[in-house]
Structure formats: C-alpha cells, structure tokens
Amino acid sequence: AALPTRAQVAEIAVRTNVPNIGIDSLDVLVNRGGKNLPWTMAAVIDEFDTVEVRHIDGRAWRVEIELSQTAPRKISCGGDLESGSTWKVKTITNLNNWN
C-alpha cells in the first residue's frame, strides 16, 4: 500500500505471472525519460507509464501500464453515478538480469 497506484499494479502483475515470489523479494522502480528511479521519487513525478520490477535474485520485468476508463459507478451508497478509471497492464517484458 506504500507504493503509488501504478507501481502497485505493476508489482501485482509480476506476482500474478511469476510463481513463488517472497513478500520482500521485489523492488519497484518507475521509469521516467529512460531512467529508473526509486518509487519514493514517484511523489514528485506526475506521469509515468513504465515500471521496472526487480527480484533480489537478479530477474527483472518491465511493466507498461495505461489508464483505462471504467463504466460509471456509485462511489458511495447514496451517491450518484460517477465515471471512473483504473490502471491496466499493457505488457510485461522479461529483462536481462539487473545485478
């Protein structure tokens, strides 16, 4: 929950597609202008759509995500329908080992 939403989506995608990943085995970096930055820097970055997820054993994945519109829905029980959006994974690419 400490990661920005886009970074969470990327990490979940890797965990879903790669079996047996330990809870503390991954590091998530955002890619901005071809440079990987720690996710803590994401707070100062408005836009990024590529995330690199690294495993402690040297494996790595580049995850491309995009914002997708959702059907209108109620945000609260008594509320009106509101349009929404969600982040979706476009691609997951295996990278050469990072270490």
| pLDDT of 41 above 70 | no
Q: What is the pLDDT of residue 14?
A: 95
Lay out the sheet containing 50-55: strands in order across.
35-38, 26-32, 50-55, 60-74, 81-95
Task: Summarize the confidence of residues 6-16 as an average pLDDT.
Answer: 91
Task: Summarize the confidence of residues 68-83 as an average pLDDT.
Answer: 86
pLDDT band at residue 7 using 50, 70 and 90 as cut-offs: confident
In order of 54, 55, 71, the CA distances from 96 in angstroms are 11, 12, 38
Low-confidence winner among 30-39, 77-86, 89-98 (lowest mean pLDDT):
30-39
In order of 18, 31, 37, 75, 82, the CA distances from 62 in angstroms are 13, 9, 13, 32, 32
Q: Where are the alpha helices (DSSP H) in 3-68?
A: 5-17
Q: What angle do CA 16, 67, 28 make, to 5 degrees?
A: 45
